[in-house]
């Protein structure tokens, strides 16, 4: 089942920047399957990218906290050069240039700080665990949003197709009612009733079109795309039975 109008076959692929774990987030031209939509959303959704970046930053913070166990070494140096007349050790007046310099190395190593470093490392690890849990929660929410958005488009498009079919049927019924009235078989009441049914069908179709556009926009935003970008969805049929679980 194919849903909606889509990216033209010859269209170029969209290549957003790579995600925090180094993959290339590429939306290829053609139909978009549900697994591909989930993978693309996890790669480009702003909330997901932000949660992953925060988790990686907190992992780096753990490394920074652990660095307190290691010594630090710093080096400083200076050099100066002067020229002019000066008196040497023998009392002679000499005109020349003179260069002096010095170098210093500083080694600092905290051997005991009453548990301060251990506490900071433990705090950084707990924050990292919290960031990881947050990232997992955001991923789950993103996947749920893709499921709702993807099949929301499928349902909205099917509803639009049904509304269009109903509109066409009521238009034919209205035409038949008018023909029967002109032939003296039908009544004005029949025409009015058919006209009302047709008008209601037109309204339903217009509402279905608005719902379809809204559903596509919601899905595009979840995928990290512009809301008005056209997509062709390759919708899998909804299973008729729930798979049996062993538990």
User: Is residue 221 pLDDT above 70, yes or no?
Assistant: yes
The Cα 40–Cα 236 span in angstroms is 17
Which of 78-87, 91-100, 184-193, 197-206 has maximum average pLDDT? 197-206
Average pLDDT, the chain: 81
Question: Confidence band (pLDDT; 50, 70, 90) for 101?
Answer: confident
pLDDT value at residue 212: 94
Question: What are the tens digits of pLDDT across the range 181-206?
Answer: 888 888 889 899 999 999 999 999 99
Residue scoring higher pLDDT (244 or 98): 98
pLDDT value at residue 211: 95
Question: Confidence band (pLDDT; 50, 70, 90) for 238?
Answer: low
The Cα 20–Cα 139 span in angstroms is 14
pLDDT value at residue 198: 94
Give, as one character, the DSSP assignment of residue 9. Answer: T
């Amino acid at each position: 089942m194919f849903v909606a109008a889509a990216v033209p076959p010859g269209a170029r692929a969209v290549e957003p920047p790579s995600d925090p774990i180094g993959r290339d987030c590429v939306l290829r031209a053609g139909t978009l399957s549900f697994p591909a939509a989930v993978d693309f959303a996890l790669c480009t959704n702003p909330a997901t990218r932000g949660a992953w970046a925060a988790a990686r930053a907190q992992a780096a913070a753990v490394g920074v906290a652990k660095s307190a166990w290691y010594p630090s070494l710093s080096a400083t140096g200076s050099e100066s050069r002067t020229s002019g007349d000066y008196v040497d050790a023998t009392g002679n007046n000499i005109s020349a240039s003179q260069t002096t310099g010095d170098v210093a190395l500083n080694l600092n190593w905290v051997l005991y700080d009453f548990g301060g470093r251990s506490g900071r490392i433990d705090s950084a690890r707990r924050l990292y665990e919290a960031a990881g849990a947050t990232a997992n929660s955001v991923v789950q929410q993103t996947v749920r949003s893709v499921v709702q958005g993807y099949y929301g488009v499928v349902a909205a498009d099917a509803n639009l197709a049904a509304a269009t079919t109903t509109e066409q049927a009521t238009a034919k019924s209205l035409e038949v009612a008018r023909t029967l009235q002109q032939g003296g078989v039908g009544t004005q009441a029949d025409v009015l009733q058919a006209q009302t049914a047709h008008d209601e069908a037109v309204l339903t179709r217009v509402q279905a079109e608005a719902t379809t556009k809204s559903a596509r926009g919601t899905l595009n935003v979840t995928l990290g795309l512009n809301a008005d970008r056209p997509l062709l969805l390759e919708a899998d049929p909804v299973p008729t039975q729930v798979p049996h679980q062993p538990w």
